[in-house]
Chain A
Amino acid sequence: MKTVRLLVGTTKGVFFLRAPAARTAWQVEGPHLPGRAIYSLAYDGREGRQRVWAGAASMHWGAVLVPTDDWGRTWDEPQEANVKFPADSGLALKQIWQIAPGRADEPDTLHCGVDPAALFRTTDGGKSWEVVRGLLDHPHRERWQPGGGGLCLHTIVSDPANAGRMWIAISSGGVYRTTDGGRTWTARNAGIRAEFMPEKYPEFGQCVHKVVQHPSRAGRLFAQNHWGLYRSDDAGDSWQDIARGVPSDFGFAMTIHPHEPETVYIIPIESDMVRVPPGGKLRVYRTRNAGRSWEALTRGLPQRGVYDIVLRDALTTDSLEPAGIYFGTRNGKLYASRDSGGSWRLAIDGLPSITCVRAVVVDSRKPARRPVPRRAARR
């Protein structure tokens, strides 16, 4: 029996929502890791696992990666911090912004992106994490500038067909690509505008907020920028403006349809100075033709007096047909669509400020395998 699980990160912990495949009613459970800010969540279903990773940050005690194999009944809190900069870097971890399980044929590989901007990798299922030196030592580093959320590496996009190729995005540094497994990285921002700099099209320094890719078309990327919507058809070598028909090209969130590689969703924000929905209307915008046109999706969403926005990782999809689309807001509302965005319902209200949302479809009859060892488990 299929069950849809939503992983919801908030500024006050993790919540899990659950619904049958019809997705008509949601049960909520949590908070887990209470009081900690969860800016990243990931589900790892490779090799029969049902593992959830949380990037959990305490303002007092720092940030760690914490996994659970039983939907939060127990968490494997690391005794020693598992993501740490090497001493010679002079850097200290502030926040974990992204967790990305690797490809199916590398089941013990995951990456995480952090503030200050860096990429970490594990190849032993999370027992040990190492910084990716090629990016840590990149000569551009000294000129990257923090955005409002810090100097964060918030996006990791792997190439499903090419083990050595990956893209990452930094606010603000822009998009970087490696084709040699992380040894070298090249800025890939040609055509992306940096509105906040005197040189509008620099090699790097753009504030790219999110990049998405459909796994069936690895070389095509979509980007929501700090001002600007873009598509690349050549793996990031060049970018074209696709912001035609949206009320604002500023925003954070972007996701792609699980089955339609030309269907992308965004949630525009009025401007970087105001940061509310344009016109007080909560609207998701969808393109079904790779950005040649956009349509507003409003059925079931409030269209007056909305001052609530959606952060970069708080918009996501499930893998069902028709696809479920979900987003969570800064004011703790979680909206769900079970018809690819055609209509929406408020699934739950009153959560803490939502920072990230992930959706996964699990077969609830199958037990999870490969549990991690327990140490100092706590909720």
Chain B
Amino acid sequence: MRVVFLIPTALRPFADGRSRIEIVVAKDPPALGDALEALWESAPGVRDRVVTEQGEVRQHVNVFVGTESCRWTGGLATPVADGAEIAIFPAISGGVC
């Protein structure tokens, strides 16, 4: 099955400049973690910016499956449907003045 990742501007240098990356996920049905693993193969530089070395989504990064943040839908176990859009956003909590 296929999902589409929306890459924020700050991470496009690590994704060959792409704003959208369509990924084929082998596992069916996949969880968000499976889809992200497939993304890392296509854009490994994105991985370390989105998750820590322990595999956890960084504190000030939000990952949305459709319109819901994965923080409220089961984290990396969030189910992902065929054709889903998965958007990565810098959280507003991450700003420093």
Chain A residues in the interface with B (C-beta under 8 A): 11, 37, 58-62, 64, 77-81, 84-87, 90-93, 376, 378
Q: From known contacts A37-B96, A59-B60, A60-B94, infer whether A84 and B14 are also in contact, taking CB-CB under 8 Å.
A: no
Asked whether B96 lies within 8 Å of A59 as measured between CB atoms, the reply is yes
Q: From known contacts A87-B53, A91-B54, infer whether A61 and B10 are also in contact, taking CB-CB under 8 Å.
A: yes
A60 proximity list for chain B (CB < 8 A): 10, 49, 58, 60-61, 90-91, 94
A93 proximity list for chain B (CB < 8 A): 52-53
Name 26 A/B residue pairs within 8 A (Cβ), A-sorted.
Answer: A58-B10, A58-B94, A59-B94, A59-B95, A60-B61, A60-B91, A61-B58, A61-B61, A62-B52, A77-B13, A78-B45, A79-B14, A80-B44, A80-B47, A85-B53, A85-B54, A87-B53, A87-B54, A90-B54, A91-B53, A91-B54, A92-B53, A92-B54, A93-B53, A376-B45, A378-B13
B11 sits at the interface (CB 8 A):
yes
Chain B's closest residue to A12 (CB) is B96
The distance in angstroms between the C-alpha atoms of A58 and B8, with both chains bound, is 14
Interface SS of chain A: loop
Count of B interface residues, CB-CB < 8 Å? 22
- For the complex formed, measure the closest distance between the CB of B41 and the CB atoms of chain A, giving whole angstroms: 13
A62 proximity list for chain B (CB < 8 A): 48-49, 52, 58
The distance in angstroms between the C-alpha atoms of A93 and B49, with both chains bound, is 12
B48 proximity list for chain A (CB < 8 A): 62, 64, 80-81, 84
The distance in angstroms between the C-alpha atoms of A87 and B49, with both chains bound, is 17
Chain B residues in the interface with A (C-beta under 8 A): 10-11, 13-14, 44-45, 47-50, 52-54, 56, 58, 60-61, 90-91, 94-96
- For the complex formed, measure the closest distance between the CB of B94 and the CB atoms of chain A, giving whole angstroms: 4
Ranked 7 nearest A-B pairs via Cβ: A92-B52, A81-B48, A79-B45, A61-B49, A59-B94, A84-B53, A60-B90
A64 proximity list for chain B (CB < 8 A): 48
